[in-house]
Structure 1
Amino acid sequence: MWVVASIAVCGSSALIAGDAEKHRVLDANTRPDDVRLNDPKDLNGYFPFEVPKSKQAWQQRQAELKQRVLVATGLFPMPVKTPLNTVIHGKVQRDGFTVEKVYFESLPGHFVSGLLFRPEGEATEKRPAVLSPHGHGGRQYDYGEAKMDDLIASGAELHRESGRFPKLARCAQLARMGCVTFIFDMLGYVDSQQISKDRAHGYAKHNADLEGRENYGFYGAQAEGRLHSILGLQTWNCIRSLDFLESLPDVDPARLAVTGGSGGGTQTILMGAIDDRHIVGFPNGMVSTSMQGGCTCENCSLLRIGTGNVELAALFAPRPQAMTAANDWTKEMMTKGYPQLRELYAMLGVADDVYCEPMLHFPHNYNAVTRSVMYSWMNKYLELGLDEPIEELDWKPLTPEEYTVWNDKHPAPEGGDDYERKLLQQLNERDLAVLSNHSPRGDRETDSYLATVRAAWTTLIGRELPKAADITRTKVWKEPREQFIEFGDLITLNSQGEQLPVISVYPKADKWNQQVVLWVDGEGKSGMFPGGKPDAELLRLVEAGFAVVGADLYGQGEFTNDSDSLTENRTVKNPRPFAGYTYGYNDTVFARRVHDILTVTAWIRSDDHQPKSLQVLGVNGGGPLVAAARVIAGAKMDRVAIDTEGFRFEMLNDWRHVNFLPGAIKYGDLPTLLALSAPNPLWIDGEPSIPAITAKAYHAGSKPDAVSLAKPDVDSTTAAIDWILQSR
């Protein structure tokens, strides 16, 4: 077999003190040299942007990240857009512009509210339009009269009246410049009260009434398993707000822009990543290699794994965008982030279409000085034709009666906990509808459904099959046993800094049949040696000529201090129990274990002796992991035997559970994972019958007989080995 010969996959020999008698690769006091044993990354980490070497490489990365953002925000595939049913009322006049109250339905019964600023007078031609997500503090954010003297003295603001309301000030000036401008309420601010501010932005404590299996709201395992988040809902509201602007008869849909600051800057970044309609962007206060956004409305599971706000902002390229750097988490932008954006834009042939103005003498802001940079940018790229510099003019602030959307004639919609539960059910039904349901009628619908969910699962798993050149084998020990030869090795995936203890069992006396079985157990490689002795089914495989490989996946066996596998995910050091703070930056244990299966698969498959087949066994909790790995590995795993043990992601009550994976429920749960093995041979145990979608997938692939179900009342591992032995 490949491990008997003195070869290694890009490997080298090393003397490491293991414990062959206990089937350990390392000694009891040593852990694998694996970066995943470090503390999990959080929103205050370092998020550099490495510019790809070519346009083609960037386009590939751009597509990958766009899909990540869409999946993470719950918008893949893009939901069907329902009628907005827009209402515009309460028009008031100011010098040079008008203000109107707006509300519409981003989803049936879920309302977006805001203020529409228009240039004064009738439009003689279609006008450019700017969408302005406001950020924290609300659209009516007020510095307060007491602060205005200091703000004016410092140059941060120019006008005592309108300068008190900096978010509205930019809308008023843009309207005076000729732009139709819409500022809409983030969840929980001003007139958007169906989801409260405390729920959307202040979530700090587990709420059992809203986070159970039934009638759930945001933040629990059921919502996270379906990728329903506050950030996702706000992103959808942002998309629908651009729909609203685009629909106005006086708006030129070819000249749209988006600008927001702080939390609104986050929304601007995400809109630039996933929406192709606007031609200009000004994401302020959040393009940074440092802090990525501290609120629950700026984070969600999967969003920033392997990326950060600078690279996400880069997805807007080659469209023009600008921003400022202040004395906050953006203060290093001029040396960390902006040079890379310039490099990317230069590679795309538009070096001058990205700009960052350093304003380090100001704290976090979207003040008059920052706004002046934005006005100039919009003037240039929306082709407004105005003389520069553009002077921001004062205006009389709106009264509560003038800015409040809801009144007796326009009553506020329902909200609260019951509404939240109803909304989450509505989101689930919306997603099921757009996925064309989980029981496609014919082969064509089945193929379409599987192509969509395969793309989604690729993002959920977050890893391709590694390349052989990226894997190093370190030989630790070799031990003759009574029935076989046993090897202890360390397998390192160099690009990721990941290392796995691996045990290989090889038949004696040149009896290897050139076939390999990868044994994946929920307890790691110790599953092959219950009580320290070789499993009877392991011996059956060896006697039949198979080589058998087992590994401790992340969090199993030698990764732990007591050799007992992890039972839950480690979370970041944040007192707020929100999954997005951890899973927005780190893969789950489940995903990491799937990565490890892929690494071992690539190592076996890349051996110089080229085993003629690789069969994979998933038992004792390993079945779902193998099912997920098969989605990526495909035919590299010739035959796969899985005991599901009836597992479903939907069964999990806690997002910390070791088997939790964000989005797994939405994209079909375990039955769809099994279906994605088609048309490759698959044996299933733990199910009363072959799941319907799995059977349909194999039928659509013209291989209905390639999937089989275990007979009842037979030991699962024994039956699986029987099936594997049929391949001899």
Structure 2
Amino acid sequence: MEPRRFVACLFALSLLVMSHQVVGQSTASELTTLDSHFPMQVPADKQAIEAQNEHVRTMLRLANGLIPMPELAEPSPVIYGRREMDGYSIEKIYFESLPGFYVTGNLYRPAKAADKAPIVLSAHGHWTDGRFYDAGDKAARAAIAMGAERFESAAHNVIQARCVQFARMGCVVLNWDMVGHADSQQISIDRIHGFRTQAAEIENTTDGWLLFSPQAESHLQSPMGLQTINTLQAVRVAQMLPGVDTSRIAMTGASGGGTQTFVAAAIQPAITAAFPAVMVSTGMQGGCTCENACYLRIDGGNIHIASCIAPRWLGMTAADDWTRTMPTDGFPELQRVYELFGAKNRVSLAPAIHFKHNYNHVSRVACYSMLNKAFGLGLQEPILESDFQRLTAEELTVWDDQHPAPPAGLDFERKLLKAWHQSTQRKLQQTLAVADDKGAGFRDVAGPAVEAMVGYGADEAVAKAEFDLASKQEDNGSLVMTGELTSAGEADKLPVYFNYPDQWNGNVTLVADVGGIAAVEKRLADPESEYAKLLASGTCIATCDLPAAEGDDEGTKQKLVRQDRLAACFTYGYNRALLLRRAKSLLTLAQFMRNHERTPKQIQMDGLGEAGPIVAVAGAVAGPLVDGCRIDRGDFRFQDVANIADANFVPGGARYLDLPGILALHAPRPLEVNGGAKGTFDATEAQYEKMGALGSLKIAEHKSADSQ
């Protein structure tokens, strides 16, 4: 194809032709935070909302470290210490979640249970001491005086109050501890919920790493992941308890327990009714480290997550807190979602804006009503609580001389995370060991996860970007254009550069350099450089200014949302890491060129120097956009990045067998890796061999001539 014809097409495609100077760096928009606004645009039809919900579920599984699911303990609940109470009984229960990591709680049963009773999973949230909570006499009297509670027992412990009432309604109840609360002390409350910072010399040692370390985050190990795994194991326990109707499993909780509820219900379809109190909103999304995880809310907030529960039963409350706007902003959208499923009667909101953040009797009555309808209990409404005998921490605790508490502390935390990491790596390695699947096993697990990390799926490969031309000029036998690309749905503009030789051969080399357009132009100015020779031979050279590292003046760090609590989840739970945004920029450029009406014969993507890992990630999800890649920095490993602000830090970057695993997703396309030691790319080689493409893989220990 003649280069001038291609230029004319590019020009015609532009919606706006602007005469301006393209600056040297592509800047990012302001960071999203947990206090940003998260409205939901409801799709037009059921098929569209189902597709959106499935994407949100993928992000939830990714964020919680569930792709692949780690090797869980086989839950064998220890249940003992039964007490007969007024209309119900209460027992102590504990079981393993991850091997060696225990879930602790109490089991309530109705005194007159049906053959198959519903079960309610009750997550307590951030009430001090959880199951052992005691509001104290002053707060209890105040709650009764303002009409929030009816009885002193409930006013002292709102968590016991609802468990007792559920049991009196004919339900089995499993009430378990958040990590760090009550009996769950293997990892302390200060670690899980109060984390602010930790010294680099302790967070990663020869014995293993700790939560919140760059290494833990690079493997998607988080407090939220631990609590979600605990919840999923609680569902498994519920399903194995005798006398439980497994078609009627409900979950409820308030505040942080509300977050646990809607996240678990979105993931686990066995939960047929969910009542997350005072948490679902378009406002503040959850302030604790246990309510946040990298990737969790990048593509949608709590309303989007709650939408995934449809068409199952969903009840919510609003109070004088961040949920106060729910009646007009959030709940109407959820009603429209349920309408698309033909189940508008299954979603409800009980606003009690005259109360502060709570799960008081007024709110609990709304939950009882929803469960009455959802489970066909046939009880007369309103369902009001009766008084009960409140048990103390000493009476509720599961640990005693016959049931000693398990190991705890930082040494245990390191061992837990090490075993957790090893189990996921084994699962991934096992997919590579399957001889006759032609690479499908590994790709089916790691591929969607890396696509979700980047925010780029196969459906986007056919999308068209808009090109705004800035300059066009003849330059020594070639035509040079600069301008900006804008992808559909993206606000940021990408500065781009195209250099077409007069005798274009139809091939394109897309060059990635962290120095951007200026660095590539400098290479082209040297007639002895590889890219100047490629241009002279008829290959088009294209590049772009990658998003800038704006965390410091040297361009080596990413911006973080906050410096007082250095947990990665507060930044990367709402914003993609810089390296991923840079990879997305390269994909936008490749997508624009590939989808033009004058399609190039071949697109090669080269990652020079520090851009090598960027092209590694971009190429892993590029699919048909590129025909082959060449990368430098084959010695780079995501697990070695020692700071969550580092420009190369990527949450989950090491989880999928690190750089060799990400490169395995390039198979069977041609791939050249420079600067990597032989024998360190087993995953890459295994995948290429399984796909019959080992001859398309080249690994060289030396650096490429143009990487300097």
- Paired residue for 1:638? 627
User: Which digits, 9 at most, give the CA deviation of each residue in 1:387-445, with x for residues without a partner?
Assistant: 22212010121033311211122111110110111111111122123334475252428
- Paired residue for 1:251? 244
Matched, 1:79 2:70: yes
- Paired residue for 1:709? 699
User: Which digits, 9 at most, give the CA deviation of each residue in 1:127-176, with x for residues without a partner?
Assistant: 11000010002122222111233211211000012321001100000001
Q: 8 Å contact 1:615–1:640 — kept in the other structure? A: yes
C-alpha distance in structure 1 between counterparts of 2:650 and 2:392, whole Å: 48
RMSD after superposition: 2.2
Q: 8 Å contact 2:523–2:531 — kept in the other structure? A: no
Shift of the alpha carbon at 1:494?
4.4
Q: 8 Å contact 1:642–1:684 — kept in the other structure? A: yes
- Paired residue for 1:42? 33
User: Which digits, 9 at most, give the CA deviation of each residue in 1:501-559, with x for residues without a partner?
Assistant: 1122122xx31112111111132223313489446222101110111011101117xx9
- Paired residue for 1:55? 46
Unaligned runs of 5+ in 2: none
Q: 8 Å contact 2:72–2:99 — kept in the other structure? A: no
Q: What secondary structure does 1:498 align onto? A: coil
- Paired residue for 1:167? 159
C-alpha distance in structure 1 between counterparts of 2:10 and 2:521, whole Å: 26
Shift of the alpha carbon at 1:99?
1.1
- Paired residue for 1:678? 667
Correspondence 1:294-443 to 2 at 5 A: 294-437=287-430, 439-443=432-436
Given candidates 688, 691, 700, the residue that maps to 2:690 is 700
Q: What secondary structure does 1:672 align onto? A: helix
Aligned residues: 699
Q: 8 Å contact 1:82–1:106 — kept in the other structure? A: yes
Task: Give the AA of the match of 1:701.
Answer: M
Given candidates 137, 150, 158, the residue that maps to 1:145 is 137
Shift of the alpha carbon at 1:446?
4.1
Q: 8 Å contact 1:99–1:116 — kept in the other structure? A: yes
Q: 8 Å contact 2:673–2:698 — kept in the other structure? A: yes
Q: Does the C-alpha gap of structure 1 residues 370 and 12 become closer, same or farther in structure 2, counting only changes over 3 Å?
A: closer
Task: Give the AA of the match of 1:301.
Answer: C
Shift of the alpha carbon at 1:457?
0.9
Task: Give the AA of the match of 2:211.
Answer: F
Q: What secondary structure does 2:606 align onto? A: strand
Identity value in percent = 37
- Paired residue for 2:535? 542
Given candidates 544, 561, 578, the residue that maps to 1:589 is 578
Matched, 1:649 2:638: yes
Shift of the alpha carbon at 1:13?
5.3
Q: What secondary structure does 2:141 align onto? A: helix
Q: Does the C-alpha gap of structure 1 residues 398 and 289 become closer, same or farther in structure 2, counting only changes over 3 Å?
A: same
Shift of the alpha carbon at 1:468?
6.4
Correspondence 1:228-307 to 2 at 5 A: 228-307=221-300
Q: Does the C-alpha gap of structure 1 residues 180 and 15 become closer, same or farther in structure 2, counting only changes over 3 Å?
A: closer
C-alpha distance in structure 2 between counterparts of 1:629 and 1:5, whole Å: 28
Q: What secondary structure does 2:348 align onto? A: strand
C-alpha distance in structure 2 between counterparts of 1:129 and 1:715, whole Å: 62
C-alpha distance in structure 1 between counterparts of 2:373 and 2:263, whole Å: 23
Task: Give the AA of the match of 1:125.
Answer: D
Q: 8 Å contact 1:213–1:653 — kept in the other structure? A: no
C-alpha distance in structure 2 between counterparts of 1:469 and 1:273, whole Å: 29
| Bigger shift: residues 624-633 or 580-589 | 624-633
Unaligned runs of 5+ in 1: 19-24, 720-728
- Paired residue for 1:485? 479
Shift of the alpha carbon at 1:704?
2.5
Q: 8 Å contact 1:103–1:111 — kept in the other structure? A: yes
C-alpha distance in structure 2 between counterparts of 1:381 and 1:491, whole Å: 50
Shift of the alpha carbon at 1:584?
0.2
C-alpha distance in structure 2 between counterparts of 1:498 and 1:684, whole Å: 31
Task: Give the AA of the match of 2:144.
Answer: I
Q: What secondary structure does 1:621 align onto? A: helix
Given candidates 94, 116, 122, the residue that maps to 1:126 is 116
Correspondence 1:650-669 to 2 at 5 A: 650-669=639-658
Task: Give the AA of the match of 1:296.
Answer: T
TM-score under structure 1 length normalisation? 0.92
Matched, 1:496 2:485: no
User: Which digits, 9 at most, give the CA deviation of each residue in 1:78-108, with x for residues without a partner?
Assistant: 2343222321122222211111111111122
- Paired residue for 1:108? 99
Q: 8 Å contact 1:130–1:257 — kept in the other structure? A: yes
Q: What secondary structure does 2:170 align onto? A: coil
Q: What secondary structure does 1:161 align onto? A: helix
- Paired residue for 2:80? 89
Given candidates 421, 426, 446, the residue that maps to 1:453 is 446
Matched, 1:135 2:138: no
Q: What secondary structure does 1:323 align onto? A: strand
- Paired residue for 1:615? 604
C-alpha distance in structure 1 between counterparts of 2:205 and 2:496, whole Å: 38
User: Which digits, 9 at most, give the CA deviation of each residue in 1:37-62, with x for residues without a partner?
Assistant: 32x11100001111111111112112
C-alpha distance in structure 2 between counterparts of 1:561 and 1:377, whole Å: 52
- Paired residue for 1:725? none
Q: 8 Å contact 1:526–1:532 — kept in the other structure? A: no
Shift of the alpha carbon at 1:213?
5.6
Q: Does the C-alpha gap of structure 1 residues 635 and 493 become closer, same or farther in structure 2, counting only changes over 3 Å?
A: closer
- Paired residue for 1:204? 196
